[in-house]
Every structure is written in C-alpha cells, then in structure tokens.
Structure 1
C-alpha cells in the first residue's frame, strides 16, 4: 500500500505541498497513521505536475523519499498549480524499480493509485490486457496492477469521471464471482483541468482518503490529512470526488 495526495489551486512549490506540512507525504512515508498492511513507505516516491505550457511532467525515485538527495532542490524550485504525489510501499512480487514507481502519466492524464489487486498476475492481468488496445498496452513499462489500472482508464471514453467509472465497473464485474480476490482501488487522476478521486474496494476495506476544500486556497485530496488545519473531511468508501477549478468539489456515489 502507498500514501497518495493531490493539490489543485494557487501555484505552490513541491516542498510546500509534501515537505512543509506537519504530516505531509514526506512524514507519512515513515509515520503514517492509517495504514493497515505496512508500516513504512520506503519503496520509492514520485510527483507529477504541469509545466508552464500545461504539459505533464514527472519525477520518480526508487529510494525512500527521506534518502533522496534531490528532494531539497526539487522541493524549493519546482512550482505548479497541480500536483499528484505518491510514497510507495511495494506489493509483494512487484519489483521496486522506476517502471513500477508512481505517479504515471500518459495521454495527457496524471494518475496515482493506493491499493492492490490480489495475485494480480494470475487474477486480472490477462483480462485487463485483453481489454486494452495495442496502442496503450505497448506503453506499459512495468508489471504493477496500478499501471494496468491506469491503462484501463485511458482506454475508456467520455468525461474523466465517466472513464474512471467505466474502468472500475469492469473490474467490479470481473471480480463479482471471485470473493477471495480483493481489489483496493483508491485513485486520483487528472486531465490537467480538474481532479477525479475515488475511494473504493472490491471484497475488502478501502484505504483511507480525505479532502480539504480550502487548504490555503487549494483543493487537496490525500490518504491522510496533511496537518491539523480545519477543513479535512473523510471521503467515504464507494464515493467519487470531482473537483474543478473555481467550483466546489462534487461528491457522487459510484
């Protein structure tokens, strides 16, 4: 399992988002409060953002965030109005390497996932590959359930929220008759114009997820509150958050 977070609001530095807060992702990497299947997130970290031209950018590192000598320079120099970030606790059997480190970007989307699919290589990978077109399937570089989940969402059509719903609906249908296979599916995805976040699971308990509608003027979604500021609200299991700049986030049931 991992810890994930997203920011959408006034431009801020990477450090203001993940390092400065008392319980930002850099702190959650070794002192998470609500993880149930691991104790630390020491298997790498990454961040995705938009450059000045609105193009997705990504930085990924296989070292723990606290051991990355690049963090200090990146934290004070990178600035964006949109951030997705992840500190990773690798699922057993899924290698700790750059290809498997989140976030992922592709087709103008930025994506991060907290959770896992039980025995992914033998349960759902073949079905997901059959659903994904060659053009997208050939861009998959690693072997994680997370990257295949992202590819499945990219394969769908419609609004960003509709694409997420359709991808998750396929997984739910495939697992309907296999109650021994858990899929924990907390995700955050952005098309550069808004955010869609989901807290959900099949045959298990979804990991924690929170939203703050006005975190220093921004909308922030995170596995755990980043600080003790007021405004943090639980995202309930089976709930989707649709956030658009300048508008109040919308909560919908899946």
Structure 2
C-alpha cells in the first residue's frame, strides 16, 4: 500500500504540504498509522503540481529513493508554489521493480493521478484484460508495469474516447470497468485514487473484497484557509472527515465538495 495526498486551493509552498505537517508524507513513509498491508513506503515517491498562473501541462518530480533520503526535496519544495498538488510515497508490490517509471504521480496531458491500492495477482489476472481494452495511444503511454499505471491508463483512455465526459464520470466509469473485470476474473482490488486536471480534484475510496484503505478530506483549516486537502491519513490534527467506503469525492475549482456512492 502507498500513501497519497492531494491539495487544491490558494497557492502555497509545497514544503508546507510535504514536509512540515507533523504527520507529513515523509513521516507516513516510515511510520504510517493506517496501512492495511506493508510496513513502510520506502520504494520511491513523487510529487506533481500545476503552474499557479498558466494553463500548461503539470510538472512532476520523482525519485526511487525513500522520500526521507532525497537531499534535494527540502530545497525544491520550498521553491515550488502551487494551488494544486498531488503526491505519493510508494510501497511496491513484491516483484515489481523499483524504478522511475513505476513512481507516481502518473501524467498524461493535463491529467495527473495517484493511486493507493492494488489489483490482486495483477500480472496473472487483469494485466492482459486491461491492456486489451486500451486504445493504441493509451497502451503506448504506459511506461512501467504497475497495476496503478494501468488503472490510470483506463481513466485517460475513457476521457479520450468521451471528450465531453467529466473527470468524475470518467473515474466512475473506470471503477465500474475495474469492478466488472474483478468479478469476471474473480480478482480482488482496492482503488483509492486522486485525479486532477489542475482545476479540480476527484477522489475515490473503493475496494471489492478487502478492507478499503483509509482516505480523508479537510476543508478551510486555519493552516490552509480556502483550500481542500485529501490524504490517506490526516497530516495534522484537525477536522478531517473520513470518506465513506465505496464513494466518489469531487472538489470543484471553487472548493465545493460533493460525495457520491459508487
């Protein structure tokens, strides 16, 4: 299991999100509180962010080192300022290589995505069925071998095939496809995702068998006024609200929050 975080609101220095909170992703990488599998998130990390003034493709920074070992992160995260940030610390599935192509967030065009979860026995179960459903462009966009990136490819392919579809509807459609495949191939999965296009956040808390991984959101905290945070575990003491199991959470550009069952 990984740990993830999403932020939408007033532009802030990224270190306020990544390293300064008392239970930041750095701390969650070596001392998570609510992981349902694994002990550490030491198999790399990544952050993605959008330019605060320009509509351009998002930027990413990734490393295969544990997040606590990256000597560049402190300086980099003090320098970057953004109003939309996604981040992930990775706990690799046994057998999956630790390389940059398997580090999140994944990016295609304006879309960024992070995933916490798994597909059970992915290479033996849904690897080929997912790939067979992808267009050539989506298929060729996959650079690594993780279940997470294949779920992201399903999502972006859904958006490409349905240009008028909202990000929330595309994620719902992706999870429906994943659920049908899981049932067909009798495979368990969990899919906590946070997706963004720079103007909104869409998140899911979803699983078909095991305990659903934790996911929380927080709005307009005194530390982050006019902002929404989504995280696998609360980053600091505050009025964090647990997302219901099997739900979809949407955060619009004006920070309106809606929760819907999946």
CA distance in 2, matches of 1:186, 1:122: 22
Residue 249 of structure 1: aligned partner: 257
Residue 235 of structure 1: aligned partner: 243
Q: Deviations over 1:3-51 (max 9, x none)?
A: 0000001111110011111011111111110012111110011100012
Q: 1:214 aligns with which of 210, 215, 220?
A: 220
What secondary structure is seen at the aligned counterpart in 2 of 1:16?
A: helix
Residue 176 of structure 1: aligned partner: 183
What secondary structure is seen at the aligned counterpart in 2 of 1:214?
A: strand
Residue 82 of structure 2: aligned partner: 80
Residue 39 of structure 1: aligned partner: 39
Structure 1 residue 245, shift from structure 2 partner: 2.2
Structure 1 residue 177, shift from structure 2 partner: 4.0
What secondary structure is seen at the aligned counterpart in 2 of 1:201?
A: coil
What secondary structure is seen at the aligned counterpart in 1 of 2:92?
A: coil
Residue 55 of structure 2: aligned partner: 54
Q: 1:204 aligns with which of 191, 206, 210?
A: 210
CA distance in 2, matches of 1:10, 1:190: 16
What secondary structure is seen at the aligned counterpart in 2 of 1:21?
A: coil
CA distance in 1, matches of 2:198, 2:76: 21
Residue 66 of structure 1: aligned partner: 68
What root-mean-square deviation, in Å, do the aligned CA atoms of Structure 1 and Structure 2 show?
Answer: 1.0
What secondary structure is seen at the aligned counterpart in 1 of 2:35?
A: coil
What secondary structure is seen at the aligned counterpart in 2 of 1:176?
A: helix
* Runs of 4+ displaced beyond 4 Å: none
What secondary structure is seen at the aligned counterpart in 1 of 2:244?
A: coil
Structure 1 residue 145, shift from structure 2 partner: 0.4
Structure 1 residue 178, shift from structure 2 partner: 4.2
Residue 185 of structure 1: aligned partner: 191
Indicate conservation of the 8 Å contact 1:200/1:206, yes or no. Answer: yes
What does 1:71-150 correspond to in 2, within 5 Å?
71-150=73-152
Structure 1 residue 134, shift from structure 2 partner: 0.2
TM-score by length of 2: 0.94
CA distance in 2, matches of 1:139, 1:72: 31
Work out the number of aligned pairs and report it: 252
What secondary structure is seen at the aligned counterpart in 1 of 2:8?
A: strand
Unaligned runs of 5+ in 1: none
Residue 161 of structure 1: aligned partner: 168
CA distance in 2, matches of 1:3, 1:12: 21
Indicate conservation of the 8 Å contact 1:43/1:88, yes or no. Answer: yes
What does 1:19-38 correspond to in 2, within 5 Å?
19-38=19-38
Q: Deviations over 1:45-73 (max 9, x none)?
A: 11000124232110000000010011111
